[in-house]
Every structure is written in structure tokens, then in C-alpha cells.
Chain A
Amino acid sequence: MTTTATRPAARSTDRPRGGRSRWAATVRALPWLGPTLLLMAGVVFFPAGYMAWTSFRDLSQFGVDNGPAGLDNYARLLEFTALPRVLLNTVVWVVGVVVVTVLLSLGLAQFLDKAFPGRRFVRLTIIVPWAASVVMTTTVVYYGLDPFYGIINAFLVDVGLLDQPYGFTRNAVPAFFTAMGIAVFVSLPFTTYTLLAGLQTIPDDVREAAQMDGAGPWATYRRIILPLLRPALAVATIINIINVFNSLPILQVITGSIPGYNADTTTTLIFKFIRADRQIDTASALSIVNFLIVLAVILVYLKVVKPMRED
């Protein structure tokens, strides 16, 4: 209906006025965009908007709305004494996990790009951590590291590396690094496969040409392969940043029973505000801050690294 109505109108206007015709084209596309837009509005913009609204309300611990709160919820965040440590943890968590994941994945992708006997099997092996549930993978490690009955702990004692079982998951710093290790492990498959797909789009003649011009393997990699991988690298990095930043389950399982805030990121802190402190409104405020942080990180990344530059 809309299309038949707009088409003659678009035709009757002056052709040269491009802005107008583009507008008309957008209107014509609307029926096709509609379902997607509706879905986005329903599952993304409405919940996010509702959360933003909540962050300016005063909610009782059971969710009853007691009227506007102005900026009180945000002020309470600033007064929270453990915030600097939590922010530092968040930076360590995101940067550490993403950098290590991308570096390892670059190597793995390069390896899997080579033809060798049994390559299909190795490729399959790398995809396994992706297929397993994150909570399951994490729980396996958590039990393995348990000081009383964990097999990893028992193994370390048996081979003589430890005198007695150590509470890897019972102290903030080792538990946090354990969680980072698991985060890298579960992020590798996606990153590796994204980079592998990128590698396979690089035609062989480009590499051959580089060799003909006398470039060694390292120079070929740095000057030819890496720049051509940039779009794949950008996708892998950005998705990983978002994913790792918002990751709750790994830290929840590994560090959930550790007292204090020394092993928390902003995302797990949101959870503690809701569950322990019963402050839905403060948690909403922190969620908004969380969203702004991830947005800023990605914009800075795009600005500084210019991953989409085509030259």
C-alpha cells in the first residue's frame, strides 16, 4: 500500500533534488525493514530505554517505584569506595583477555591455514570449546582447582609442583587470572575462525608477488598479510571486546564466593548490586555507565586503529 502511494509522488518531484528521492527510497524500503526495526525496538531499544529510565528512579528492593531519584543513583556509584579497583579489574580483564585471545588466534589461524595431514581434525578440536556451554567449561575448571577434591590441584601436588593444595579459586588475584585464562580459552574458537576466514580471502598471487619481490616470510606477514587481514581483525576484536566486557558467567562461577570486590568487574558488580545489596536502581545506573564505557572503548578503537581504513 505504502509503495504504490509513494511511487507516483517520487516520480512527480524534480529528479535532481537527490535528498528528496533518497528519502522516498527509504520510505519504499520501510515495509521490508519493518520487521527488523520492530524486533530491534522490542528486544534492544525498549529494554535499554527502560533500564535508562529505571536508573533515574528510586526503586524499593522489591521493585516498587517510589518516584524520581534524579542523579542519586549515579551519585551512589561515585561514592562506592571499591569502584577504582573494580574499574582497574575491568580494564585488566578486557585488555588482557582480548589481546591474548587475538594474538593466540593469529597464530592458530596461520597454522590452520596451512595444509597438513589431519588438519580437519585439528580444526574440529579448536571449535569444541565453542560448542560447550561456558558455564560447563568453567565449572569443570572450578572443580578441578578445588583444594579439597580437585584433580588439577591433586595433580600439581603429586608431581611435586605444590607442597599442598592451593586455593586458586579461593583468593581474589589467582582466581581472577584463572577466570581470564578460561575467558581466553572460550574466546579462541570464534576469533580463530574469523581470522582464518580472513586469511582465506587473501589470494595466493599476492603472497607469490611478495616472494618474487624478495620479501621474507616475516616481512610478507607484516607488510602484506596483516594489512589484508585488517577487516577480519577488526570484527574479531570489536566482538570480543563487547563479549568479554559483558561476560558474567565465568567470573560468577570462579570468583562468586570470594568476599569483597577485589575480583569484580563492572559487570559482576551490577549483579552484586542487584542480588546482595538489593539496589535495582543503582544497578541500572551502573549498567548505563557500563554501556557508555563499552561504547567509548569501541569508538576509541575505531578512531585510533582505523581498522576499516581501505588503503
Chain B
Amino acid sequence: MTVAKEYLEYPLRRYGMDQNFYEWSLLVNRPKVTWPNGARIALWITTDLELFPLDQPAKPFKAPGGMVTAYPDLRHFTTRDYGNRVGIQRIWRLLDKYKFKSSVAMNSKVAERYPYLVKKINQRGDEIIAMGVDQGKLHFGGMDDATEIAQVTESVNTLRKLSGQPVRGWMSPAKSESWNTLKHVKNAGIDYVCDWVADDMPFEIKAPDNAGKLWAMPHTSEISDRKIIIDNKHSEDEFVEQIQDQFNGLYKETEKYGGRIMSLSLTPYISGLHYRVKYLDQALGWLASQKNVWVATGSEILDAFKKQ
């Protein structure tokens, strides 16, 4: 085998990024941000309400948390669905205890199947972020454009219709996008996306074909129960510790660099388990006891950021 001549050609070797989605910008060079009431940390708690279909396709890849065994994989289907039935109400009970708002990234299929959840979200004053149709309907490079437009439209329209919310945020299932996802979600009226984790603060991101600009919100893939407890297999104590360390690390730099966003990503079938809830209680209670924290939804944080 040999390497083609083009392998040593670098047409995008230039100042800034090698793509046209967003501009290069050092976080430390940006103006200081102040949050409402002088808060230093905007705490953005998100929960995922997901449906992993039994017939989830294996290609191009399976969303994390997806089916594992041969069909019908009832054990994974039901352990995931446990989060939508049992786990989420435990998380909500804790969020109520500390009067924390949250944003809920939701497959539109979950809203259709479980209207109760939509009602509860609206009662709590939480924000719905569109998370595609279900965890089997991925967005990925090379997918058919018409299929993607249909998936985006179904997700956003269904969630808007069932919740009455404007639905301004988008998170792709498995945070996977095609080359055109930004264009299609922009055309569907989405203001911000959660798939790009390049920053601790929002940054502008361009939809291709001059479809306009959106914001990339810093939805964490790190301070998440999926990453820390499932992928890394850390203990619940260590999950709490890393939440605290993240907060302390961000807080420390706010004096010099201005307000920061702390994103905490929770999955009901992971954090909502019996033996984990008390640790989540510890973490949320600790966060509630910190000074200068503003707990808000993604849209509220973005709006406050844009006003600066």
C-alpha cells in the first residue's frame, strides 16, 4: 500500500480553523461576562429523556446506551425506559427540593408516547431541547438529505405542538451531526445546538449554504453521569467529587476572566437509580449551598449571554 500524493497536501492549512462552521477564538481573550444578580456561575442542568428502539440500526453506529443483544433486547430497552418512568421523578424530586430549573433534551417519540412527561416539564417551568426523533434515528455524514430534513421536522414540530414551547435548542441523538444538520435545524427555527463541545462558553456557529447563524452551547460531555459513572466506571462519591472540582475550577477563574457556565448532564436511567440518588442529592445540595450561582435553562443563559 502507498499513501496518495494528496495525503501530504494541506489545502486548509491556514489561519484559524480548517472548517467554516465557526471562527477560531481563545476563551481568555473574550470580554468578561456577568450573569443576572452578579452571579459568577450559570448552572445549566440538563436531563436526557430518550427512547432506544428495539430495532435500533447498528449503522453507521449505535447511540451510547443503545441495544446490545440480539433482537429483541428487552433488558436494555426496559432498563433505559426505567429512566423515563422511575428515574426522572427521583431527579425531579431533588430538583424541586433545591428549586433548580433544568433543560430536558427529549426525543420527540418520548413526548408522543409519554404525554405525562411533557405536562410535568411544563409545570416545572423547564425547557425542552429537541433531541431528534429517537435514539435509533441518528444524524450522520453521508445520510440522505430528505431523510434528515424529515427527522428534524418531525422532532421539532412534534415537540412544539405537544408542549406549546418555542423549542429553541437542539441536541442531536448521540451528539452526532451530518454536514447539513446545522442548516436543517436553523431552517426549523432552532437558535442553539448542544453537539459541539469546543468551549466553556457559547460561540457562534454558521449553518452551511448561508442558512444563517446559530449558537453552540457548552453542553458538557465530561461532567455527565454517562461519562463518569458508565464510561469511566467511577463511583458515586467520585462523581460528586468531580462535580465539585468542576465548579471550584470554574469559579476560581471567574474573577480574572468573568462569568462561566457550568453544565451538568444527567441521565434518568443512570443517576435516577436507587443507590445513586442520595449522591445526586449530595451534589445538588452542595451546588445549592454555593454563592453567586444562577441556575437557569439553556435559553435563559444564552439570552443573558447575548445581552452582554
Are the chains A and B members of one assembly?
no
